[in-house]
Structure 1
Amino acid sequence: MEEIVEIYRNLSSISQPTLARVRINNDQFLAVYTEWTQRDLEKAEKTNFTRNYILNASDNSILLSTPAQEIKNELFNVESPSGKFQAILRSWTNKKGDEKQFIEIWNNGRKVKNFDILAKEKHGKINNKDINFGSFQWSYSEQKLAYVAEKKKPKTGSYFDNKEDEKKDDIVKGHEHDVLEDWGEQLTKKSKPVVCILDISTGSVDVLETAENVSCGQVLWCPNDSGVVFVGWDHDPFRLGLKYCTQRKSGVYHYDFESKKTVLLSDDGRAVHALSISPDQSKLVYMDQPIGGGHKQCSRLMMVDWKTKTRQVVIDIVNTTKAGGDFCGMYFDEFPVRCWSTDSTYVFIDTNRRSQVGAFGINVVNKTVHPISAGSHCGSVNVLDVYKDRIILSCSSPNTPHFLMIGNLNLKNIGESIKWSKLSEEMPLPNISYDLTVLQPTVDRVNTNYGNLDCESILISNKENSISKPPLILFPHGGPHTTFDTSFMLYVAGFCRSGYSVLLVNYRGSLGFGQNSVNSLLGNIGDQDVKDVKAALDDVIQRELVDGDQVFVFGGSHGGFLTTHLIGQYPGLFKAACCRNPVTNLTGNIHFDVCKGGAMGNNQLP
C-alpha cells in the first residue's frame, strides 16, 4: 500500500495548464501569462499558480521564465483590451465567517481601485468561473465591467416575528421556508443569474432588467459598447440541471442600453451555448442544437451579421464519421476567450475527433474547416489563446502530461505545417504506451436505426511490466454522452504505474463519432453500451494483450451504471468492481433534475 500511495503522491505533483494568454506582442518580444493547477495532498485542495514567459518574437524561443507564484482567492483575473488595466474578482471570508467579494482594478503594478461589491447590496454573489454563468468582461472603452451575479433576493421572515428594529417594507413575511429552484448539480446556489454593469469611474452598479423568465450567462459586450449579448436559459416549465447538459431550451439575447429592450438573436425553440464576437465587431458566432435528446450532442456553428442581424449556418451538425477522418463535428462547451484571426475570418477551436481532441481553424466566410496539426507526439490538444495570429496549445497524451506549445499561423495557407515552440517541458512517463482500436459491432449488435456505426477503445499499458499478460482495469466513461480521449489522466497513469493495463471504452453514444452515434443510444442504455464495452474487453483478451482471468471494472456515474450491468450480466468475468456514484435508480433519478434528461431521454420516456 505504501508503494501505491507514493505513486499517487508523485503523480499528484504534476501540474496542468488552465490558461495561457499573450500579454505583450511587439517586434522584439512576447510576454505570455499562464495559469496552472495541481493537487496539494497535505491541504486536501487544489493549488493554482501563475508562470510567465518572455519570448523572442522572431522565433518564439524562450528568453526568460519566471518562478511559479501561487494565486490566492482569485475568481477572475481579466486583462483590459489594451493591456493597460487588470480587473481581479477576489473572494475573502472575514473573521465573522461572512464571505466578501472585491473587484480590484490594477494599473502599472499597483491597485488603483477596490470595490466592496456585495456591500453595495445591488445583487447577490458574483458567479465564479463555471461554463454557464461565469462571466467577467471589460468593455471596449475600458470604462466598465460586465459580470453575472445572483439576483438580489427579498428578505423573508415569519408572520410571528415582530422585531421593531426591522422595517416592515423590507420583509416578505410567510416565505422564509420557500424552496428556491436552482440549476442542479454544481450549480445549486444559482437560481436567477442576472447581468450587472460596474462603472469603474463612479463605482455605480446597474442590474439589467432582461427577460424575467430566463437566467443569464456567458455575457459579452456588443460592438461600440452599445449593449450586451448573453445566453438566457428558460425557467419554464422549471429549471433543469445544466451541468453536462447543453440541450436545455435557451437563446442568444441582445440587450440595448439606449432602448433598454431585450431581443432574441437566435432561432426560437433551440438550445444554444458558447458566444464569441470577432475582433472587427462585425460577427457574432455561437453554438446551436435541438432541444431534448442526449444531454450533450453535436452542435452547429451559427453566425450573426451584426449590422443586419441576419444569421446563417456556418458548419452544420455532422451525423456520421469514419476512422481517420479529420473533422467529426463540434462538441465543445465554450470558445477560447480569444479565438479569432486578426482579419476576423477564422475562428480557432478544439473539439472531439472520435477518441482524440483536435484543433481546427474554421473559415466563417467560405465555411470550411482546416485541421491544425500539433504533431504525432500529441495525443490530444486544446486551444488556449489566439492573438495576432499566434496560437497557444495545451498538449498531452495518456503517457505524457500536459505541456504548452506556441506557433505562428499562416492565414494564407492555414493547412501549412506550423513550427511549434514549447513553452513548458514535455515530460513523457517512461515505459507507458497506448493503442487505439476501432471496433465494428457484430451482426447481432448492429443498431436497427443507425447501422453504419463503430466505436473505439484505448488500451494503456505499462511496458515495464514483467508479466506478459498483465491484469486489466476496464474503465467505461460516464455521461453517457461524453468521451474518453487521448489526453493525460492521472488515475489511468496511476493504475499503469501500479502494474495494471487500463482499457478506456468509447461505446456507441460517445461524443466525437457523429450525431447518429449519440442518437443510437437513446432507448438502448443497459444493452447497446454494455455490449460494446464487453466487446472491447473480448478484443484485448482474444489478442492476448491482457490476462482474461484478472479483469476488474471501474466506473462512475453512467460508467458506474455500466459497471453494475457488466457484473450482473457477466457475473463470472470480473474479479472485482468499483462503482463511483452510479446512476442506478431510474425512478429516483426522475426526481433529480440533473439526471432527469438522461433518465427519461435515454429510455425514450415522454
Structure 2
Amino acid sequence: MSTTNRLIDFCRGIKGKASSNSSVIKSLTEIFKKYGLHPNATKATLSSNSLQPKSYKLRIDWSHTDFESIEKVGFFTEYMVNLKDDGNVDKVIALNNLQDVSEELITVTSLDNQWKAVVREKIGKDKKSSQVIEFWSKKGKIKTLNGDKDKSFGKIHCSPTFGKMSWSRDGSQLMFIADKYKTTSGFFEEPKKNKDNNDESKNDLDENIKPSGQGEEYLLKEDWGEQLEGTYNPIVCIVDRKDDYKIRTIEIPGVTCSEAFWIDDKTIGFVGIMEESRRLGLILCPVRKSCLFKCDLRDPESEPICIYGKNINIALRSPRVSYDSKKIVFLCNPPSGPHGQASSLVVLNLQDSTTKTLINTNCSLPNEIEDPTEIRSLYCIYLPNPCWLSDNKSIIVEASMGYRTHLFHINCETGLHTRIALPGKVVSVLSLLDDLVVLKISEPNRGNNLQIGKLNNNDNQLALIPVDSNYEVRIDDMEYRCDIIEKIDPATNDKQIITSVYISPKELIDQPSATILFPHGGPHLHFVASYISAVAAMIEVGFKLILVNYRGSTGINSAHEKFLCGKVGTTDVEDCIHVLKYYIEKSQIDPKQVFLLGGSHGGFLVTHLIGQHSDFGFKACKVRNPVTDLASGFGTSDIPDWHLVEGSGDLKIYPFIKPTPELLKRLLLKSPIFHIDKVKTPVLMCLSTKDKRVSMSQGLNYYYGLKARQIEAKCLVYEDNHSITKETHFLDMSVNTMLWFLDHLLSTF
C-alpha cells in the first residue's frame, strides 16, 4: 500500500466485511510483521580496551520477532569506539560480529572483559527444564553450575524488579538473585532409609523427627504476583570463582532479597522487601515496604545488617554505589498510595551513615515539560545502571515530564541539577562508563536512534555521534504533535493540564479522519512521545491515534497524580471526552469515526466511555484484560490495595480493611459494569488465562453482560499474562483488533 492509498481506504471500497477479505488479512499481517521485524535495542555494554587506551568495546543487544517460528529472537552487534585526544568520541567502527543469543537468558561480562557468565535454560532427560550458569574465559567454557542438580539455588531472576547479575570489580565473584532451593517430602509417606546407616545407629529421638517438608506438598506457596509466578523466596547467591566455584547464599527470614550490588570486592548491598501479611504484586508496584542491607563477605558467618529504612516506613529501590564505594544513591517512596508516583532521590554516605535528600516529593509546582530548568518531581522507574560519573560526586538520571523524558546531571554534594540538552522527545541511558554514555533517543516516527558521547562535567554538554544508523527506524509518512490541554477544576477553580500525543498519517495530519483514542493503563503511568512499533503499524493502516495522559497520570507532580485517587471512573473519563472535543474543534478528527483502545485501567476507561457516553457514537471498542468491577476485583487481584486506593481515595487503607456493604457499593458505583445497560458500541474483548493482576472473570462477566443485552461482542482468550506478551498472541490480537475496527468503520447502529 502506498502512503496515499492506505489499507483503510481500500477497505472502504470492498464489499462485505474486512475480516472476510483475504487481501485485507494478508496486508494487515504483513504490516504488523514488518514492524515486528525491526530490531529493538534492549541493552548496551561498554568495556575498556586494554590493547588501545583511547578506545572502548561496545556491545548492543537487540531483539525482534522471527515470524517463521513466531518467537522472540535475540542477537548482539559489536563496535570499537575510538576517542579523540580531548576525550570526545572520534568514530564508531562496526566489528561485524553479529551473533544469535536467543538461547541466553542472561549474559554478563566482567569489567576487565576477561570473564563472561551466561545463564541458559536446559531440558533434561526427564523433560524438566533447569537453569545453568556457564563460566567462560578467553580460552572457552570453564565451568557449568546447575542449581537444581547440586541443590544450591532455584530459579535465577533476571527481571528489573530483582536486579541484574553482576561480577565483582576484580572479576573473582559472580552475584545474582535466585529463589531458595526447596525440597519437600511430599505426602505423608514413609521416609526413605539411608543405605549407609542401619536402624541401630539411630536413637529414639532421631526416629521421632519429622522429615523436612513432609506433609507440605499442598501447602499454599505465595509468590510475588503478576509475571512473577513461582517467585517465592528470592535470596542472594554469590559464586566464588577462585574458590572452586563455591556458592554462598545470604538470606533474611521474612525478607525477599532483590537488587543486589557490589559496594566493593568484599562487601555487597541489596534491597530487602518485607514479606508482610501477604506478598502483593511487585511488577509496576514499587511501593512495598523495604530496607537497604549490606553484608561483609570476608567473614563466612557474617549476617546482613540494615543500613537504611529500619525505623521508618519506606519503600526503596534502584541502589547505585559510587566508584569510590563511599556513597549510595537510591529512589524512595512511601509504602502505600498510588503505585506509580513521584520518588524521592536520596544519597547515603557510607562513611558516616548520613543521608541527604536531593529531590523530594512535596513540590507543589508542576514539572516544566519542554525546556525544564530543574526536576521538581522525579518520575523514573529505575535509575540508570550505572549512573555515577567518574568524579564520584555526580550522577545522571532520566526524568519523565509530561510527554517527554529528559536527561539530567545531578551534583550529589550541592544538590544542583542541570538538564543536558538533547534532540528527540524521549531519551534513555543504555550504558555509562568513564563518563562515556550510550543513549537511545526516540520519537513516534523515529526509533533505535542510538548515540554515543562523552559527558563534559564543566558544561553538561554531550557531543554525540551515531552508533549504527543501519538499525535506525524512520517513518517519513508519519507526523505527530504533542499538546498541553488546559482544564479547570470546577471544585477549586484551579487550572490543571492534560497532555496528549497526536499521531497521524502525514497526509491526514490536518484533516478530520478515523481516529483511535488510546488512554494508558495504570492509571498512574503516562505516555511519552516515543517510538512504539504497534502504533506505527496502526498509522500505516490509516488510523490516527491519540495517546492521552488524563489527570492522575505521572510526570507532572504529586498533587496531579493523587488528584485521581477516589475519582476513577469520573475524572479520567471526563478528561478523555475533553481531549476528543479538543481535537474535534480543531477539525483534526472525525467525530463519526472514533474508535477506542485500552488495556487494564485503559480498558476500565474505554468501557466507562461506551457506557457513560454511549450517545457519542463510538464506532467500536477493543479492550485487553480490563478492570470492569472494582468491588469483585478487590478480592481477585494480586494488588487489592490498588482497588482501595483508586476506588476509595484512602491512601493507607490496606490491609486493615473489612469489605463492608458501604465500601463495596462505593466501588461498584465507580465500575464500568454499573453502566453496562447503556452500552451500544461493539466490543472486542481480549483476555488472558494467566492474568494475576486483573482476573479473567472481570472481562468475561462484562462480555456475557453485553451478549445478554444483544450488544455485538467478541471474546479472544490467550494463555498468557496480563500484558499478552507472547509473540504469536500479540500478532493475533493486533490483526484481530484492526479487523474489528475496519469491520465497523462504515457500520451504523
TM-score bucket of the superposed structures, by smaller chain: over 0.9
Deviation of 1:170 after TM superposition, in Å, equals 4.5
Distance 1:512 1:467, change over 3 A: closer
Deviation of 1:224 after TM superposition, in Å, equals 4.1
Deviation of 1:165 after TM superposition, in Å, equals 5.8
1:7 to 31, 39, 47: 31
2:232 to 171, 182, 191: 191
Partner residue, 1:586: 630
Partner residue, 2:399: 351
Partner residue, 1:290: 334
Deviation of 1:28 after TM superposition, in Å, equals 4.1
Partner residue, 1:388: 434
Q: Do 1:139 and 1:145's aligned partners in 2 also have CA atoms closer than 8 Å?
A: yes
Letter matched to residue 50 of structure 1: F
Could you report, residue by residue, the CA deviation over 1:566-606 in whole angstroms, capped at 9, with x for unpaired residues? 11111022011111100112122212453312201112253
User: Is 1:174 paired with 2:215?
Assistant: yes
Higher normalized strand content (fraction of residues): 1
Could you report, residue by residue, the CA deviation over 1:438-480 in whole angstroms, capped at 9, with x for unpaired residues? 1111353x6x4x9453120110000134993210000000010
Partner residue, 2:580: 537
- Structure 1's unaligned 5+ residue stretches are none
- Alpha-carbon distance in structure 2 between the residues aligned to 1:431 and 1:81: 43
Could you report, residue by residue, the CA deviation over 1:48-106 in whole angstroms, capped at 9, with x for unpaired residues? 11011123322432333415321032222112122221122222222422222222222
- Alpha-carbon distance in structure 1 between the residues aligned to 2:252 and 2:588: 58
Number of residue pairs matched by the alignment: 596
Q: Secondary structure at the match of 1:34?
A: strand
- Alpha-carbon distance in structure 1 between the residues aligned to 2:469 and 2:174: 33
Distance 1:164 1:65, change over 3 A: closer
- Alpha-carbon distance in structure 2 between the residues aligned to 1:534 and 1:544: 15
- Alpha-carbon distance in structure 2 between the residues aligned to 1:294 and 1:451: 22
Q: Secondary structure at the match of 2:469?
A: coil
Distance 1:443 1:22, change over 3 A: closer
1:51 to 77, 80, 87: 77
Partner residue, 1:223: 264
User: Is 1:424 paired with 2:469?
Assistant: yes
- Structure 2's unaligned 5+ residue stretches are 1-23, 196-208, 654-749
Q: Kindly report the root-mean-square deviation, in angstroms, between the aligned alpha carbons of the 2 structures.
A: 2.1
User: Is 1:206 paired with 2:255?
Assistant: no
- Alpha-carbon distance in structure 2 between the residues aligned to 1:39 and 1:320: 43
Q: Secondary structure at the match of 2:643?
A: helix
2:540 to 479, 492, 497: 497
Deviation of 1:211 after TM superposition, in Å, equals 2.4
- Alpha-carbon distance in structure 2 between the residues aligned to 1:147 and 1:443: 49
- Alpha-carbon distance in structure 2 between the residues aligned to 1:466 and 1:4: 22
User: Is 1:365 paired with 2:413?
Assistant: yes
- Alpha-carbon distance in structure 2 between the residues aligned to 1:577 and 1:346: 48
Partner residue, 1:131: 160
Q: Secondary structure at the match of 1:265?
A: strand
- Alpha-carbon distance in structure 1 between the residues aligned to 2:428 and 2:513: 32
Structure 1 window deviating more from structure 2 (561-570 vs 22-31): it is 22-31
Distance 1:117 1:175, change over 3 A: closer
Partner residue, 1:145: 174
Partner residue, 1:234: 274
Q: Which has the larger radius of gyration?
A: 2
Q: Secondary structure at the match of 1:217?
A: strand
Letter matched to residue 570 of structure 2: D
Letter matched to residue 263 of structure 1: I
- Alpha-carbon distance in structure 2 between the residues aligned to 1:538 and 1:279: 53
User: Is 1:556 paired with 2:612?
Assistant: no
Distance 1:466 1:392, change over 3 A: closer
Q: Do 1:216 and 1:232's aligned partners in 2 also have CA atoms closer than 8 Å?
A: yes
Deviation of 1:526 after TM superposition, in Å, equals 0.6
Q: Do 2:510 and 2:588's aligned partners in 1 also have CA atoms closer than 8 Å?
A: no
Could you report, residue by residue, the CA deviation over 1:346-403 in whole angstroms, capped at 9, with x for unpaired residues? 212213121112222211111121212222xx22110111111111101111111222
2:190 to 154, 162, 165: 162
- Alpha-carbon distance in structure 2 between the residues aligned to 1:36 and 1:323: 30
Deviation of 1:136 after TM superposition, in Å, equals 1.3
Q: Do 1:75 and 1:91's aligned partners in 2 also have CA atoms closer than 8 Å?
A: yes
Higher normalized helix content (fraction of residues): 2
Could you report, residue by residue, the CA deviation over 1:152-180 in whole angstroms, capped at 9, with x for unpaired residues? 22413222x33646898644322211111
Q: Do 2:313 and 2:335's aligned partners in 1 also have CA atoms closer than 8 Å?
A: yes
Identity of aligned residues (%): 29
Partner residue, 1:94: 124
Partner residue, 2:670: none
- Alpha-carbon distance in structure 2 between the residues aligned to 1:196 and 1:466: 54
User: Is 1:249 paired with 2:289?
Assistant: yes
Deviation of 1:42 after TM superposition, in Å, equals 2.7
Partner residue, 1:71: 101
Q: Secondary structure at the match of 1:496?
A: helix
Could you report, residue by residue, the CA deviation over 1:387-422 in whole angstroms, capped at 9, with x for unpaired residues? 1111110111111122210011111111x3534334
Letter matched to residue 70 of structure 1: D
- Alpha-carbon distance in structure 2 between the residues aligned to 1:557 and 1:173: 41
Structure 1 window deviating more from structure 2 (18-27 vs 401-410): it is 18-27
Distance 1:474 1:69, change over 3 A: same
Q: Secondary structure at the match of 1:173?
A: coil
Q: Secondary structure at the match of 1:440?
A: strand
- Alpha-carbon distance in structure 1 between the residues aligned to 2:56 and 2:257: 36
- Alpha-carbon distance in structure 1 between the residues aligned to 2:47 and 2:487: 50
Partner residue, 2:389: 341
Q: Secondary structure at the match of 2:118?
A: strand
Partner residue, 2:481: 435
- Alpha-carbon distance in structure 2 between the residues aligned to 1:419 and 1:190: 41
Deviation of 1:188 after TM superposition, in Å, equals 1.6
Deviation of 1:27 after TM superposition, in Å, equals 4.0
Q: Secondary structure at the match of 1:468?
A: coil
Distance 1:559 1:101, change over 3 A: same
Letter matched to residue 512 of structure 2: K
2:61 to 25, 35, 45: 35
- Alpha-carbon distance in structure 2 between the residues aligned to 1:28 and 1:271: 42
Q: Do 1:350 and 1:358's aligned partners in 2 also have CA atoms closer than 8 Å?
A: yes
Letter matched to residue 252 of structure 1: L
- Alpha-carbon distance in structure 1 between the residues aligned to 2:183 and 2:130: 19
- Alpha-carbon distance in structure 2 between the residues aligned to 1:285 and 1:467: 47
Distance 1:221 1:465, change over 3 A: same
Could you report, residue by residue, the CA deviation over 1:94-123 in whole angstroms, capped at 9, with x for unpaired residues? 242222222222222522222233322022
Distance 1:143 1:169, change over 3 A: farther
Structure 1 window deviating more from structure 2 (191-200 vs 51-60): it is 51-60
Q: Do 1:459 and 1:502's aligned partners in 2 also have CA atoms closer than 8 Å?
A: yes
User: Is 1:265 paired with 2:291?
Assistant: no
Q: Do 1:183 and 1:239's aligned partners in 2 also have CA atoms closer than 8 Å?
A: yes
Letter matched to residue 3 of structure 1: S
Could you report, residue by residue, the CA deviation over 1:130-160 in whole angstroms, capped at 9, with x for unpaired residues? 122243121223221111111122413222x
Could you report, residue by residue, the CA deviation over 1:515-571 in whole angstroms, capped at 9, with x for unpaired residues? 111111111111111111111111111100011110001000000000110111110
Q: Do 1:320 and 1:516's aligned partners in 2 also have CA atoms closer than 8 Å?
A: no
